[in-house]
Amino acid sequence: MPRYLVTGCAGFIGSTLTDSLLADGCEIVGVDAFTDYYDRAAKEAALRDARDRSSFTLLEHDLATGPLPADALEGLDGVFHMAARPGVRASWGAGFEAYVSDNILATHAVADAAGARGLRLVFASSSSIYGDALAYPTPEDTPPSPISPYGVTKLACEHLLNAHARDSGLEHVALRYFTVYGPRQRPDMAFTRLVAALVSGSEFEIYGDGSQSRDFTFVADAVAATIAAMRDAPVGATYNVGGGSEAALRDVVALVEQLAGRPLNIRYGERAAGDVKRTLADTARIRAELKWEPRTDLRVGLAAQLDAAGALAASAG
C-alpha cells in the first residue's frame, strides 16, 4: 500500500485528505505544527479518526524551523503539501511575517526534502494568485496578479517549486483550490461563521455588500482532485480545482436560511482588504487530463456542512 506524507494533516483540507487516504488503505505520516491561526482543539478534533488507526503516524513539527526528521521520509511514495498559513485578511501588516514562514520557508523545506529523495509533491496553491482575474472563467494560463499578501506568498511558492524542479528534478503538481467548504471548514471562513451565527443567534458580518461571488468547492471534491493529481498528473502540471458552484455571498446567506428554516441576523461591514470581487475557475484542463469533475453542488454541500454542525432544519434533511 502507498505511504504518503501529508503536511498540514490537522487542518481542514489536510485532515479530510488524510481520512480519505487512510480509508483507501494508505499509510500516512502526518505533519502539523498546530499553529495559532486558529484553535488547536478544532485541529485535534479533525484528527480524531486518523489517530485511531495504526496506519497513521503524527509528527508535530514546524516545517519553517528545521528539516523533517529523516525517518519520517523513509519509504514514502509522495508528499501532499497542505500546510500553510491561510486567509487573506490576516496577511496584511505585522501578520505577514508568519505567512512568509509558514508558506514560503515551509514550502522551501518540503521541496528540499522531496527533491532530494525523488518524491512527487502535490502542492496546495490557491485561486488567490489570480487576484481580480483578467478573465472569467479563469484558465490556468491567465497572468497571475495577487492582490493580497497571502496570494503573493502562494504564488511565490509555485515559483519556488519550479525553481526546485530545475535544480533537483523535483516532480511537483500545483493545485489552485477555489474557496473550499464543507465539514471542518476553518473558523475564519464565511460558511463556518454563518453556521456559528445561526447556531448561537449572534450577528453574521458580511464584509462589503455581499455581491462578491466565489466558485465554491466542496471539500470531498477538492480531496478527490488532490489524490488524482498525485496518481495521474503529468510532472509540473498546474490545475484549477473549482467546484463549479459560483454564488454571491448574499445568495449563500439566503440558501443557508432556507436550509436551516430560520433567518440570520445580518450586519454589513467594511469590505476586506485583499478580498477579490469574483472567482470562477476554468476547469477544462483538469477535466480533460485527470478525468476529475466536481460532484457536489452548493445546496448539497452546504446542507452537509450545516448537518455536521447540527444546524440543519429537520424538514430540510
Which of residues 187 and 263 has its CB atom nearest to ligand NAD in the complex?
A: 187
The CA-atom distances, in angstroms, between 72 and each of 6, 7, 48, 89, 269 are 11, 11, 21, 34, 46
Nearest residue by C-beta to ligand NAD?
11
| Interface with ligand NAD, residue 289, by CB under 6 A | no
Which of residues 7 and 245 has its CB atom nearest to ligand NAD in the complex?
A: 7
Phi, psi of 138 (to 5 degrees): -100, 115
| Interface with ligand NAD, residue 274, by CB under 6 A | no
Residues 97-116 that bind ligand NAD (CB under 6 A): 102, 106
DSSP code per residue over 56-111: EEEEE--TTTSPPPGGGGTT-SEEEE------SGGGSGGGHHHHIIIIIIHHHHHH
Q: Of 174, 175, 171, 204, which Cα lies nearest the Cα of 189?
A: 204
Which of residues 34 and 136 has its CB atom nearest to ligand NAD in the complex?
A: 34
Element containing residue 49 per DSSP (H, E) = helix 48-51
Residue 36, all three cell numbers:
495559532
Active-site residue, 136 included = no
Q: Of 122, 97, 127, which Cα lies nearest the Cα of 111?
A: 122
Least distance CB 277 / ligand NAD (angstroms): 17
Which of residues 10 and 50 has its CB atom nearest to ligand NAD in the complex?
A: 10
Residues 63-82 that bind ligand NAD (CB under 6 A): 63-64, 82
Which of residues 43 and 164 has its CB atom nearest to ligand NAD in the complex?
A: 43
**Which ranges of 118-264 does DSSP label H, i.e. alpha helix?**
149-168, 190-200, 219-232, 249-260
Question: Interface mask (CB under 6 A) for ligand NAD, residues 166-205, using x and -?
Answer: -----------x-xx-----x-------------------
Residue pointed to by grid coordinates 470531498? 220
Which of residues 8 and 115 has its CB atom nearest to ligand NAD in the complex?
A: 8
Residue pointed to by grid coordinates 471548514? 185
Residues 2-61 that bind ligand NAD (CB under 6 A): 7-8, 10-14, 31-35, 37, 43
Question: Interface mask (CB under 6 A) for ligand NAD, residues 132-171, using x and -?
Answer: ----------------------------------------
Number of residues near ligand NAD (by CB under 6 A): 30
| Interface with ligand NAD, residue 216, by CB under 6 A | no
Is the C-alpha dihedral spanning 82, 225, 180, 142 positive or negative?
positive
Element containing residue 5 per DSSP (H, E) = strand 3-7
Peptide bond into 2 cis (omega under 30): no
Q: Which of 99, 150, 181, 239 is catalytic?
A: 150
Q: Which residues contribute to the site for ligand NAD (CB under 6 A)? A: 7-8, 10-14, 31-35, 37, 43, 62-64, 82-86, 102, 106, 124, 126, 177, 179-180, 186
Catalytic residue positions?
150
